[in-house]
Each structure stands twice: as structure tokens, then as C-alpha cells.
Structure 1
């Protein structure tokens, strides 16, 4: 218990003594009509050979190598986690592999299973970009899960090599930033609010998303990053009078709670860092080759960051603040599972090369000083961390492909079921044959009812699964509504074999559903953005300067104080923060403050309205002229276009199909195309662009794709290259990841027509 005279609350140096995660569950997807396949796990986990494997893994030091095809690997990982009884961390070579594995593990273990995706941030090192808070929160949830020693079920965490390479908060700093608030605690609301801001929480007018807090008099709303629900803490003076869970949509209280535990909301906590150490690190930098003002800018920005006045540039300085890694959070008894260890090493070394080249380019251009700390781990450190684990399993479809992990290879009892090539009748005949041989047959399909009707017409013995799913008896077949990428056959020694089929084996094609991380929409200014001295714009009163917040003793409300011209002041209730926006301008000079009580702001808005109407008129004229100008016309869909679209591994959403159809229709019309496709991250915009680009290439033209960041350029290059690998299409990328010589060669290739998509 910490008591500084004004606040008192528990500070957890370790979470081992706190049962404080009552609503800790992994993020859910809209897949409520699908059944979990957990009932099938005992068929493997309870077999004699598998139990012997688990016994060996529980020894103080154990390294095993397993041979298994890719399709049943999620099933095997689920069985390992179910039987091992301690945290399991699975490492993949690629971010997309980690995402896909996470999705499939939820299918095998259920939506309430403690599965966490330790994802990668979506920003490059040394770039002045703000990481996506959703990705940051996913990473923190995974680390917090490993810190919760008293959880009823140990976590299962999936991470790519890229995610593991990114440095993070040290465990000691993480634990010091964890707080538990209990009913009856003495804690000054103002002090507690400031503490939460220090550990990364943003102040909002209402709390709707994780990582935010809101203060209204004696009420503090907080949405912990580690929770699925927000909490409302009500104070009587400085004493916590009650804690209640509330609905973020209706803002109504739902049920009481005895305590709430709050973990850090950011991986970089400058207000909790050692300022002296940071200044020492800066003192060791070599600015001799840097551009003018780089040293002054670094010094100024770090000062503002350490004073809590600046957060948007944190990722640029992450190497100065973050000195921990994900491996620091893994308890000694955790099980490490690597999928295709050689591919993990290849991916990590490739990342090293790209980031080293980026760093060298930044230094040569004078954008960063020499010896600027790296915010990522090189492969050598990752390899050492993997090697140091006492218990590990390497799973590969090829056998032993990693000489760092000793131990003999054991082949798991899996084989691949032949694909029917789109003939459902063939698949049903094979199912009937397997039934007669005593197999347990499970058909996981998006068309369970239709397949059941076909089986009925053939006179096959079968059933349609009902919730909850039960493992079928030997010699029986069951149709289950659901989806996996591929099926397999499992033949454990001494047990009845299991056949799991998916739409790929039955119909020759399988579509996955994506789990999408929704991002909150920001409206207006955030209270955490308001710092004394910043310029703001009030929708009704114009441009002013934010002075600070003041509390009204009579009303028990808080107000935002805005200063206008001639020292006039405006008091804005904190719940009306959405009426304010931060002033932004391309000019460096400060804006002129609006005079209150005059028509100045009204006249300014009228001028803007007239200018907007003029722009609209010009746009109308422009679009009218475009309608009569002849443009390029793409060919109708070809068999290759159909083949490309059929190879898309996910199920298209209705909106995505509509956007694809509209874009292709535009391309087939002989006039200039002008269409904007909007969508959140993960909703399939890249696939829309890819199909349009392929259609243009097939029509004999080249395609240029412009993206805002180097990371996106590389990601799209890899996606396009992979999806178009079966076609004679040349794809390349022009970015800072390429040397000057490579860039010149690519430009020449585009000019010569040798590169189709760039």
C-alpha cells in the first residue's frame, strides 16, 4: 500500500497475489453460429503416445521435435496446451501465419479460451508515426496474461518472429505500473487520474474503448486494457465508495465489483522512466553527421516527452525508453513451441537486413544520429532467447530443420486427406468408405444442412451436430457448421482413427473468415491532447488558447478554460469537449485569437462556406468534363481473373463483393475512373486493389500503387507477389528498403515496361 498523504492504493510489484482479472477474455469475433471443436481434442491428448510426450515435456529440461503436416498443427498445439498445464508460447515465421493460427485455435478451444495474439506494431523504427493503440493493447494483454500467475487457466500466446523482435516495457516497470483499486481504499481522485495518465491512459469525455478514463466530480470511469468491460469508481471524499461494471454503449451500470486491476496502456512510459538515464543516453549520441537542428529537435522533444507534454513521437524514441523483450515475461515453466524453426530464422534475418538498411539510410541522410538506440532485437538475441528455454517443442512438416534444438524427431499420427477437386459426390463416397472402416468422421463446413441432404439422398448414416459438439462414435459421420482452412486424418495407436474434412476437401475450395480488430472513431479533441498553451477551435466561438481545467465548487463540475482575444475567457464543460478541435495549420506562425461577442467568427465561417461552395462548383465542372473524356477500357473478366479470385483464401464480405463488382465495372467503361474505396484495417481493401490491378495488367497496361509508408509498401509487395505468383506478372517495390542501385534498376524496368505492378 502506497500512501503519499493524498492518495493510497495498492501497487503490485508482482501480480502473483492479486486475483484481479474477472473479465479477462480474448477479444471475440462475430462467429456465434459456429461450434467449438474442443470435444475432439481428447482423441489426441488422451492417447498413450501423446501422454508420454507430455510427461517428457514436464521434465526440468526437455526439447522435442515433432513432425506434422501444416493442416493439423493448430489441433496439435491445442492438445499440447490442454494437457501441459502451464503457459504455452507459439512462434511463427510470418505475421499472417500468427494471425491465422490464432483464429484456428479459437475454433479448436472455444471463444472463451485464454488465447492471445502478441501482434507486431504497424510502424517502422525511427519514423515519427503513432503506433495503432489496438495493436499495442493486444501486446500488453499478452504480457499481462503471463504476469497473472493465479489465472484459472494458463495463457496460450501466438507471436511472429517480427513481433518478438520489437522491444517493449521491462517487466519491472510493467509491474510497477499495475494498480488494484478496491472498495474502501483511500485514494484522492485527482492523484489517481494523474497516475493513470502516467501509465498511458487517455482522458476522454466518455469511456467507450480500452485504454481510456473519464472524470466527473467524484466519479472515475476507467476501461482497463486487460479487461473486456469498463469500471465506474465512485468516491466519497477520498475513499472508494463503490466499484461497478458499466455498459460502454449505454453508460449504465451493470453489476457491482469489489476491485479493479489496471495495467499500463502503453509500452513506452516516459513519465515512469529514469530521466537521468535517458539524458545520459542522449549525451552519448554522435550528432556530427546529422542534419541541422536534429540535435536541438531531439533535445527539445525528449524534454517535452519527459514532462508529459508530448506523446505522438514516442515510437521514434522507443529505443531510448524500451529495454525489455517479450521473452522477459515468459515464466521458467512455460512451453515454447516453434513452427518451422528454419523459416523463423529466415524471416528474422530478413527483417534484420531491412532494418539495418533503413537505419544506415537514416544515418547517411542525417535524419538520426550515430549510435541511436535500436527499438528492436536482432536475430542473434532472439536465437539466444529461444535456445535458453528449458522446455521447447519444434514442429515441422519436414522433420528436424533446426540443429539448435536437440532431441529425436517424433512423427505425430497425421496425414492429409485428398482434395476432391470440387466433386462433393466423391467426398461423400470417401466418407462412406471411411465410416465402414470404423473411422470417426467430422465434416466442418459452411454448408452443413446441404451436405446432410446429399448424404440423406445417398442413404448414408449421418447426423448434424447440435450444441455442444460431442466426439462422434467410431463408424459414424457428423456434419458441423463451421470453418477451418484444411482437414486431415489422425490415426493414433490403439484408438479409432479420426477424419476431419473441410470445404477444401469436399468442394475443392475453402474460404476463411477474418477476425477484424475494430478501431474506435475519434470525434473532436481528446482531453489528453489538451495541454496548457495549445490552440483550439470551438465550433461556435472560434480560435482560442487552452489555459487549463477548473472545478466549480458550487456545481461540482469541471470546466475547460479557453482564452480568447483581449483576455476574454470561455468556460467549456468537460462533457462538451467534442465541440473543440485542435488548431492545425501549415503555417508556423501562431493564429490570431477570435474576439468574443463579435461577428468575427461568424464572418470567418461564412467566408469558408463560400470558398467551399466555389470548390464544389469547380469539382462539379471537373467531373462533368470527365464524363465526356474518353478513357482506358479494361477487358471483361478472363478465366485467369476467375482463377485469381477463386484463390482468395478468405470469405468475401457482402460489402467487399459489392466494392469489387463496382470497381471492375468502372474499369470496363471507356471513361476515366474516379472511385474511393473506404474500409477499416482488415476489411479487404487490398484484395479489391489486387483484383483491379490484375485486370489492368491483363488488359496490357502497367499499374502503380502509391502507399503512405515503407512498411505498407513492403507488406503490399509481399501480398501481391504471393497472390500473383501463379501468373506471369512481374511485381516489384520501390522503397527505402532498396539500395540506390536497386531503385535505379526498378525505375528503368518500369520505364521499359518490364515491371507490371510497382
Structure 2
């Protein structure tokens, strides 16, 4: 039975008023936004590349300066400087940016996607649960596996991550290469063997492939969606020979393009095919020794619980490929305990490392290290896990010792230093945060006129082309030399005001080049819009847990239909907290904090039929949401066509009375 605690407090998605594309607000799962709607800010980067500090920083990199510190910069100033240094990465090495927490990582990621486009930018997320917890995190596991696979393939990426994501170890690169299955047209491989490979690599078998990490087989047709590809693949067999490989559209299932080869990567960043029997026996031995120690310390109940739990886990290791909670045994998947596990840094040994506010990384890193160790030790003393789970996490000092072997660029508002980060070159950029106009058009007009007279170029960034067009027209009527340029290619020079659209965290003012960038936050003020609860029409809105009675069926925004069993007080990390207990298929339990009652709604069905419970961590609920979205889209398209026809049809003039 799986038990899951829903995340407490605000997730990164809950804090983002505008940049919500890459965040699942319910689970904090980080995933890349769609490429559509993101435009390169070419003229901004062209202007910045003339900055003397940018030129000197590039020169220092070519000359082999190992430690640089760029100070006096914050927010989107940092990302604009990074993007200006990128130059398509002609140096043929990846970049890694490390920041202090997930929220900041998302902000930096979305800025860079706006500035450079999504093709070379990846976000490496943390896992929301500990390895021994029996929950499924398909999105985060798939995202981590995708980044590692692209790096192993030799792609030169900019990878954004934070300490907690970096500290959790992964399988070594050589094992990832070994686990990867290569298919090509004309290859001999039995379809049944391909199914076994897919299961060992962590793919979920389904009737119809609708999302990454799934596969399906129907006779001589094998469908699979690797986490590294934007579309699923269909492999057609003639006997045991691969006859064709095509991509297809997941909704309509129509083929979209022909291919000759396919790489099937693991769906997670832990080992795929392992010797379950040997590892299961080792787990029993470790559990027996640890249980003796617990009983000797007067914790007999914990010792008994540990042996019982690990015996059950050993049976799963022997009988199943992947299952929730399997990652706690990662130290046993390799030649000797802990020796084979690596971090993201082992996949990026030649990378240029950017450190975003090193002092904050140190503070957050050391605090996270202590918290993880204390939480795992508490679970060890209660008989929930083996001591070896501690080996899955790298500490702050361990990570920084590896980073010291990389070329690094630290970026900070103040020129402070941390251990091992004494810069050989320090530069302060002549940039400051842009002033805010809070939607006051008169003040904005006055400043734009002044900047125009002083021949300062201005870039105004709003959220869509229609808004940009309207704003540029309004400014021209006020005598401002405003140009509406959706593609942002107009040179930023000579007192021009360019109105375009894109999403940056904040604006700034720069003296070289003479340039001001204003985003919607500075133009209109930071408007924290209240988000409506997702899928609000799936049931009756609940304002407080007292609206529910034990036995009610509920719909969770991220997990689907479950049954509410009542309130429960749990001790989590030394704190007593009230949770709403929701049961799912197979007896799986989800504990939702009372402050997140907005994620639940009462189920409304037809008649007295008892609804089918979804499986916690399964894909049925995601499939349901996908089908509903497509149905709504089809209905909207139909209505638009109907109204368009009505507009073109001649009317009927009735005779006068």
C-alpha cells in the first residue's frame, strides 16, 4: 500500500503569477514549457554583447581564467548576461547553473527560454519524496532522465538546477548508455523481448500511448514514448524484423514522419535491469543486522518492523521490475555500496558552472543536508528504512569539492565569497533595477520622452502580441517613437522604443549599452492574480474540510477520484499536522494538508453508481484530463466554424406587418 503526503505550503507553481507553464502547481513537478509562444529577444542580446564587461568576460574564458565573479546584478540581469555570453555555445561544452531553491531555478529557466528559446535549455528537478517512500513521480523522474540522456548523447546544453536536485545521486553515465536500447530498420528482435526491455527501463504498459514513459503492444505493432522525444514512436514488425519506425500523433494516433532508428532511454535516473535476487538477498542481510542493532538499543518494535518491511521489499525486487520505493536500494545496484552512484556533475565534467548567489547556495545547501539527514535518521530509528539510504544524497562539501575542479562564474548582487570560490577576476556591471510605474501612464510617458531625448533605447515587454500592438499605438499617439516588433529584431539604439512580447522576471536599466528594459511588472505593477482551482467543473467546490463527511467521494486536482476517510493527525519531521485522509485504488493513501483543501472537490456523478477510484501515481487521471481537454477543443472548434458559417450566410428579410 502506498502512502503519500501531499506537499505542504506553497509550491513553485503557486508562487508564479505569470510563469506557470513549467510548473505543476499541485505537486511542484518541474517540466519544460512548450516551445510555442517563446520568442528570442535577439535585439536585446545583440545590444548586450557590445557591453565591455561582457566582452572582457568572454575573453577571460578563452584565456583560461578559472574563477570569475560578476557582481552588482540580480534577477533578469543575470540571465540576460548569461544569454549574451552563450553565443550558440561555440566552445562545445555544456553549462550548468546552480541556484539555491526550486522556485529560483524555475524563474531562471523561464528567463533563459525567453531569451534563447527552449531547444538548448533544460531544467533538472529535485524529487519531492525520499527514496524509500512508496510514491510515483513520473514527471520529475522523466525530466531528470531526459536531461541525463541528452548529456550522454553529447548535446551541449544549459542545465538549470538547485542544490536539492543536485544532491540526489543518479546512475553512472556508463550504465545509462548500457541500459539504452537502440533500434533500427531491418534489425532482428522479438516483440516480446522488446516488451521486457521496456519494462526493465521503467516504462508503463498501457492500452494506448498518451504520454512520455508509456508503451503499448498490439500484435506486430509496438508504440513507445521515450522521455527524450516530443512525440511517441511506432515500431512495426514483420515477424521478428523491424519493418518501419515512425513518429505519431498521440491523440489521433496518425503517423507524422518516417525514421530509420530509435533510441529508447530509461524513464528514470536510477538503474534499469538489475539482479533482483542478489540484491534482495543483500537487503535481507542488511535488514537483519540493522534490526539487531535496533533491538540492542531498546527499539524492538522498530527492529521487527524493519525486517518485515525489507522482506516484503526483497520479494518485490525478485518479482518486479520497477515499483515505488525501489530507489532506496540504489546503493546496492552497483559494484559496491555507494561507489557507483554519481551526481549530475559526473555527466558534465567539462561544464562551465554558474553559481547564482553562492552565499545563498551555501545556506540552503547546508540546511537541506541537515534536514535530509535528520529525516532519514528518524525513519531509521522507527524501522522504516536502511541506513544505506543516506548514501543516496551528496552533502554540500562533497558537491562543492567537485565544482572546484570546474571553471566557474559566480553571479551575485554583492561581491561576497564562499569557501573555494576566491575569484581571479571580479567585475561590477553598471546595471540597476528598473523603476516601477504601477500602471500610471502619465509617469511612463514622461520617462519615455526623457529617455527618447537622451537617446536611450527602451524595450517594453508585454505578454502577447495584441497587447504589444495596442501599447505601441497608444505611445505613438503620445509622440513616442515606438515600434511594434513581435520578433524583437529592431536594433536597440538611438532613443528608439521597441514594444515586443516576452516573459522576463524583471526589468533593468543599463548605462552601456544605453538601454532600459521594462516588463509588465514595471509597466503595470506586480499583480498577483488569484488562480482559479483547476478542473473546477469536476465537482462541488469545498471551502473547508468540514464540508466533507467520511465516505464522500472526492476529486483531487492531480490524483483524480478517491474516497475521503476523515481527518488524521500525523507527526511529520517532529511537527504534528492535520491531514485529510483520501484513499485510492489498491488501498493507497494520500494525506492532504487542511490548508490545501482547495485541491479537493466533491465528486458529482450520475445516479447512485459508485465511481471507480483512480490509482495513486497512475496515468488514468492524466488520460481523463487529456480526453476532456481534446473534447472541449473540438467543441470550441465546432462552434467557431458554425458561427463563421452563420456570419457569411445572407439573412432573411421578413415582409412588413
Call closer, same or farther: CA 1:412–1:275 in 2, change over 3 Å: farther
Which structure has the higher relative contact order (CA within 8 Å, separation 6+)? Answer: 2
Cα contact 1:423–1:508 (8 A) shared by 2: no
- Report the alpha carbon displacement of residue 336 of structure 1 after superposing the two structures with TM: 0.5
Cα contact 1:37–1:109 (8 A) shared by 2: yes
2: distance between equivalents of 1:197 and 1:80?
Answer: 42
Cα contact 2:534–2:557 (8 A) shared by 1: no
- Report the alpha carbon displacement of residue 487 of structure 1 after superposing the two structures with TM: 0.1
Matched, 1:406 2:408: no
Aligned residue for 2:326?
A: 314
Greater Cα radius of gyration, structure 1 or 2: 1
* Deviations 1:270-316 (CA, angstroms, capped at 9, x unpaired): 53358646744653452221431522431342242143266123144
Aligned residue for 1:105?
A: 112
Aligned runs of 1:337-736 on 2, under 5 Å?
A: 337-370=354-387, 373-389=390-406, 391-407=407-423, 408-446=425-463, 447-467=467-487, 469-492=489-512, 496-509=513-526, 646=527, 648=528, 651-653=529-531, 678-680=556-558, 706=579
* Deviations 1:135-178 (CA, angstroms, capped at 9, x unpaired): 111111111121122x4xx2111001010111111212111011
Cα contact 2:76–2:111 (8 A) shared by 1: no
Provide the secondary structure at the position in 1 that maps to 2:442: helix
* Aligned partner of 1:122 among 120, 123, 128: 128
* Aligned partner of 1:302 among 314, 330, 339: 314
Aligned residue for 1:331?
A: 348
- Report the alpha carbon displacement of residue 117 of structure 1 after superposing the two structures with TM: 0.7
2: distance between equivalents of 1:319 and 1:352?
Answer: 18
Instruction: Give the stretch that moved more between structures: 408-417 or 468-477.
Output: 468-477
Call closer, same or farther: CA 1:462–1:59 in 2, change over 3 Å: same
Call closer, same or farther: CA 1:398–1:445 in 2, change over 3 Å: same
Call closer, same or farther: CA 1:370–1:245 in 2, change over 3 Å: closer
The alignment's TM-score, normalised by the length of structure 2, stands at 0.71
Structure 1 alignment gaps of length 5 or more: 1-25, 510-645, 682-702, 717-758
2: distance between equivalents of 1:310 and 1:222?
Answer: 17
Call closer, same or farther: CA 1:34–1:335 in 2, change over 3 Å: closer
Call closer, same or farther: CA 1:286–1:340 in 2, change over 3 Å: same
Call closer, same or farther: CA 1:482–1:281 in 2, change over 3 Å: same
* Deviations 1:502-553 (CA, angstroms, capped at 9, x unpaired): 12222222xxxxxxxxxxxxxxxxxxxxxxxxxxxxxxxxxxxxxxxxxxxx
Provide the secondary structure at the position in 1 that maps to 2:291: coil
- Report the alpha carbon displacement of residue 46 of structure 1 after superposing the two structures with TM: 4.7
Matched, 1:92 2:99: yes
Cα contact 1:41–1:79 (8 A) shared by 2: yes
* Deviations 1:362-414 (CA, angstroms, capped at 9, x unpaired): 2222333455553211222112122222x111101111332421223211232
* Aligned partner of 2:39 among 31, 35, 44: 35
1: distance between equivalents of 2:120 and 2:31?
Answer: 10
Cα contact 1:320–1:373 (8 A) shared by 2: no
Provide the secondary structure at the position in 2 that maps to 1:271: coil
2: distance between equivalents of 1:166 and 1:712?
Answer: 25
Matched, 1:168 2:173: no
Call closer, same or farther: CA 1:182–1:195 in 2, change over 3 Å: same
Call closer, same or farther: CA 1:55–1:678 in 2, change over 3 Å: same
- Report the alpha carbon displacement of residue 254 of structure 1 after superposing the two structures with TM: 1.5
- Report the alpha carbon displacement of residue 678 of structure 1 after superposing the two structures with TM: 4.8
Call closer, same or farther: CA 1:244–1:656 in 2, change over 3 Å: closer
1: distance between equivalents of 2:179 and 2:417?
Answer: 41
Provide the secondary structure at the position in 2 that maps to 1:221: strand
Cα contact 1:140–1:265 (8 A) shared by 2: yes
Cα contact 2:31–2:123 (8 A) shared by 1: no
Call closer, same or farther: CA 1:187–1:656 in 2, change over 3 Å: closer
Provide the secondary structure at the position in 2 that maps to 1:301: helix
Aligned residue for 2:144?
A: 139
Aligned residue for 1:272?
A: 274
Cα contact 2:309–2:384 (8 A) shared by 1: no
Cα contact 1:41–1:75 (8 A) shared by 2: yes
Provide the secondary structure at the position in 1 that maps to 2:84: helix
- Report the alpha carbon displacement of residue 206 of structure 1 after superposing the two structures with TM: 1.4
Call closer, same or farther: CA 1:157–1:299 in 2, change over 3 Å: same
- Report the alpha carbon displacement of residue 269 of structure 1 after superposing the two structures with TM: 3.0
Call closer, same or farther: CA 1:431–1:335 in 2, change over 3 Å: same
2: distance between equivalents of 1:657 and 1:133?
Answer: 21
- Report the alpha carbon displacement of residue 331 of structure 1 after superposing the two structures with TM: 3.4
* Deviations 1:99-154 (CA, angstroms, capped at 9, x unpaired): 1211111111124x221110011113432x223111111111111121122x4xx2
Cα contact 2:359–2:416 (8 A) shared by 1: no
Aligned residue for 1:73?
A: 78
Aligned runs of 1:143-292 on 2, under 5 Å?
A: 143-149=148-154, 151=155, 154-269=156-271, 271-272=273-274, 276=278, 279-280=281-282, 283-284=285-286, 285-288=289-292, 289=294, 290-292=302-304
Cα contact 2:164–2:365 (8 A) shared by 1: yes
Provide the secondary structure at the position in 2 that maps to 1:287: helix
2: distance between equivalents of 1:679 and 1:461?
Answer: 47
- Report the alpha carbon displacement of residue 79 of structure 1 after superposing the two structures with TM: 2.0
Provide the secondary structure at the position in 2 that maps to 1:226: coil
Call closer, same or farther: CA 1:432–1:452 in 2, change over 3 Å: same
- Report the alpha carbon displacement of residue 202 of structure 1 after superposing the two structures with TM: 1.7
2: distance between equivalents of 1:242 and 1:145?
Answer: 24
The alignment's TM-score, normalised by the length of structure 1, stands at 0.62
2: distance between equivalents of 1:99 and 1:43?
Answer: 25
2: distance between equivalents of 1:710 and 1:376?
Answer: 26
Provide the secondary structure at the position in 2 that maps to 1:272: coil
Structure 2 alignment gaps of length 5 or more: 1-29, 295-301, 560-575, 582-588, 597-657
Call closer, same or farther: CA 1:114–1:711 in 2, change over 3 Å: farther
* Deviations 1:401-436 (CA, angstroms, capped at 9, x unpaired): 324212232112321122224423212211221122
Aligned residue for 2:61?
A: 57
- Report the alpha carbon displacement of residue 224 of structure 1 after superposing the two structures with TM: 1.2
2: distance between equivalents of 1:658 and 1:200?
Answer: 33
